[in-house]
Structure 1
Amino acid sequence: MKVNKIMTVKLMLSLALVAGFASCSKNSSSKNASSATGWKINDKKGGFQYNTNYKKQQAAPGLVLVEGGTFTMGRVQDDVMHDWNNSPTQQHVQSFYMDETEVTNAMYAEYLYWTKTVFPPTDENYKNIYDGVLPDTLVWRNRLGYAETYTNNYLRHPAYAYYPVVGVNWIQASEFAKWRTDRVNEATLEKEGYLKKDAKINDVSAESTFSTETYINTPSKAFGGKEDVVLKGKNGRAKAGKAGKDGVAKEPTNVYATRSSGLINPEYRLPTEAEWEYAAASDVGNREYNLYKGQKKYPWRGSYTRSGKRQVKGDQLANFKQGKGDYGGLAGWSD
């Protein structure tokens, strides 16, 4: 009988502890209370401030999410020439955002226009900057080739506006990625009221440009330190804090957008070789949990590049070429 009473007391104590822990968990997981300390979050009196309204990262213009996974990278067919320079290996790729299409002539033309406007080549101080971002249009030139007309027309003519930009080297591509990071974040902060409206057009100059890195580290120095452009609080409505015991009003806090606000997009960059091949070859239909199964030559099932469906029989299944050379005159590849 005594044993039963002891067991009953232990059971009640366990239930009380479980209920207590459940209660603590429920209270500490509140949106306005810390799950680590139980302190209030975003209290008007001060203390730890945190963005509790953040939902998820919004895709930047032109980007699509590529869900990460594991795949076989490298040669997926017999190496009959025994080069052994692209041996298959298993690689894991984290999720990332990537442009839905290649960078087009129209997209790169924006970069050229902005650079020429902000750093006019007629100014002796900036005469080499614009030339440094121009693509090499002579890549089309080839002895006895058919592409000579592209040398003068491909980059600038509107007929090729949405064709992939060519003649861009690695340094130019990296600088374009940095420029795009700044322009996207500049537009976002303007939309959210942290930068003056249309400042990116009316107030920009060689000495006054927006830099994401500068804004994060020293916001007041962005745009050349122009206080009328870099606003304190949304639409410049930051209010000073209440006066302390000394009668001096406190300076407003959290008046600029930060990483924790969720408004600033991560930096653009060039994809790694693994990311590029993964995005090109992955096929959701052959995915099992986090693994893409099999070694395929093409993203689709089969060993042929042309469609076998009656409605589109013979059409190429993708916009690609298996190797270098002039494909003019071959069925399916127009000049």
Structure 2
Amino acid sequence: MNFSKYLRFAVVGACALASCKGGPPTATKPGKYSSTTGMEYNTEEGMKVADYRGIPEGPGLVFIEGGRTVLGTQEEDVTMSHDNIERTVTIASFYMDEAEVANIHWLEYLHFVRKDSSEEIYQRALPDTTVWARELSFNDPYVDYYLRYPGFRYFPVVGVSWLQANDYCTWRTSKVNERLAMDADEGGSSGGGGGLFGKKKNKGGDAAEGTDTGGGVKISIENGNTLPNYRLPTEAEWEYAAQALIGTQEVGNENQENKRIYPWDGRQVRNPYGKNMGTFLANFKRGRGDYAGIAGSLNDGAMITEYVYAYPPNDYGLYNMSGNVNEWVQDIYRPLSFEDVEDLNPFRRNGFLDPSEKYDKKNYQSLIDDHVRVYKGGSWKDVAYWLSPGTRRFMAEDSATAAIGFRCAMINAGSNK
């Protein structure tokens, strides 16, 4: 290397290290040169660094700002299970669907599965509509109509097992990122100049690198043009999002002085204010044999499930975090998870520290194993006790009912806020 070339590299390197223009490098403004080697990016010899303008906007997702909180049962433990005692944890920021996955969303999923996959996979994706059938109840019409009749389009999908919900998350990730990769390959425009979800997409990068989405288009994480995986929320994320304890403390005061039994203020389940005073704030079973009130003055108005955007959202903007349908979460069930899980992003992944061999399921002394998952939130057929975010129940991951649905979540990649 001659002296002039060496000098040029030295000057470039010094300029990069000193961040000559615009301050230190950032994810969205990494600069033209490496701040450690001085090598120029996006050249024949240099590393390719794609333009990045932040995580793309995902459809239906709401940002959940993380932080410290106290998780656990806020109500009296009437079941005497002692399986969710209060503990202080910190949850990282994440995204969550603002509403439950609805019938129309599942029908869209079935459409593409039938189009792109085998008949066997399509049959495996079908919800169990017979969950509505009861031997001593005339719910037969729901078996035929609930999933497919247009009037039920935006009612929550039910009859979906934990395993099926996970398959949906995988498909949704693939389908959304396939479209984002195509959008980036077209230069970030898709009519109207706003991209697929109303936000300009990142340009640059090689959309042909990376992993196959399942639709024939390959994507690359390094491009920044794709979203992280859709998935079921962890139990801690779900409970934290349901509490929605934001804006309840004074500015500069880090003490959480207010708690909530439900995803709204107060100990009551009726709206205490304004023209809607006295109306219920969630869809649940009000009492024995009472699902909706009396004709002419129906209160919650929902004998079964309800429109996924019914009832006021909580302070995060999430609808029906109590009532309507219970929701699957990622965690396997263990009665003493609160003792074992970490205090940062707690999650029960498997039988570690509490193996399934300890539970006598073979002789019907227990229902617990590594294929039993937690569900949360209460439903249209549950009493008010189960509306409290701290309550938890469990069911086999391959089972389904008319009272369990789900919503998706996603990490907030590359940011603590």
TM-score, normalising length from structure 1? 0.67
Pair 1:130–1:160, CA change in 2 (3 A): same
Pair 1:49–1:95, CA change in 2 (3 A): same
Q: Pick one of 122, 125, 137 that aligns with 1:145.
A: 137
* Equivalent-residue separation in structure 1 for 2:161 and 2:288 (angstroms): 21
What secondary structure, in the 3-state scheme, does the structure 1 residue paired with 2:63 have? strand
Report deviation, 1:24: 5.3
What pairs up with 1:1-335 in 2 under 5 angstroms? Answer: 25-27=18-20, 29=24, 31-42=31-42, 44-51=43-50, 53-79=51-77, 82-119=80-117, 126-145=118-137, 147-193=139-185, 217=210, 257-286=219-248, 292-317=256-281, 319-321=282-284, 327-330=290-293, 332-334=299-301, 335=303
Letter paired with 2:284 = K
* Equivalent-residue separation in structure 2 for 1:130 and 1:24 (angstroms): 55
* Equivalent-residue separation in structure 1 for 2:287 and 2:159 (angstroms): 16
Pair 1:323–1:293, CA change in 2 (3 A): farther
Higher relative contact order (CA 8 A, sep 6+): 2
* Equivalent-residue separation in structure 1 for 2:227 and 2:16 (angstroms): 37
Report deviation, 1:278: 1.1
Q: How big is each residue's C-alpha offset from its partner over 1:186-237, in whole Å with a ceiling of 9 and x where there is no partner?
A: 1112222269xxxxxxxxxxxxxxxxxxx76466x9756xxxxx5xxxxxxx
Q: Between Structure 1 and Structure 2, whose CA radius of gyration is higher?
A: 1
Q: Give the corresponding residue for 1:227.
A: none
* Equivalent-residue separation in structure 2 for 1:83 and 1:62 (angstroms): 35
CA contact (8 A) 1:59 1:97 kept: no
* Equivalent-residue separation in structure 2 for 1:293 and 1:46 (angstroms): 57
What secondary structure, in the 3-state scheme, does the structure 2 residue paired with 1:192 have? helix
* Equivalent-residue separation in structure 2 for 1:140 and 1:40 (angstroms): 63
Report deviation, 1:62: 1.2
Report deviation, 1:322: 6.9
Q: How big is each residue's C-alpha offset from its partner over 1:105-162, in whole Å with a ceiling of 9 and x where there is no partner?
A: 000001111112233xxxxxx4422211110111112233353321111100000000
* Equivalent-residue separation in structure 2 for 1:266 and 1:311 (angstroms): 42
Q: How big is each residue's C-alpha offset from its partner over 1:245-264, in whole Å with a ceiling of 9 and x where there is no partner?
A: xxxxxxxxxxx752111012
* Equivalent-residue separation in structure 2 for 1:35 and 1:281 (angstroms): 43
* Equivalent-residue separation in structure 1 for 2:247 and 2:91 (angstroms): 18
CA contact (8 A) 2:177 2:219 kept: no
* Ranges in structure 1 where 5+ consecutive residues have no aligned partner: 1-20, 120-125, 196-214, 225-229, 231-255
CA contact (8 A) 1:60 1:265 kept: yes
- Between structures 1 and 2, the one with greater strand share: 2
Letter paired with 2:225 = L
Report deviation, 1:103: 0.3
Aligned residues: 259
* Ranges in structure 2 where 5+ consecutive residues have no aligned partner: 1-13, 26-30, 188-207, 304-417
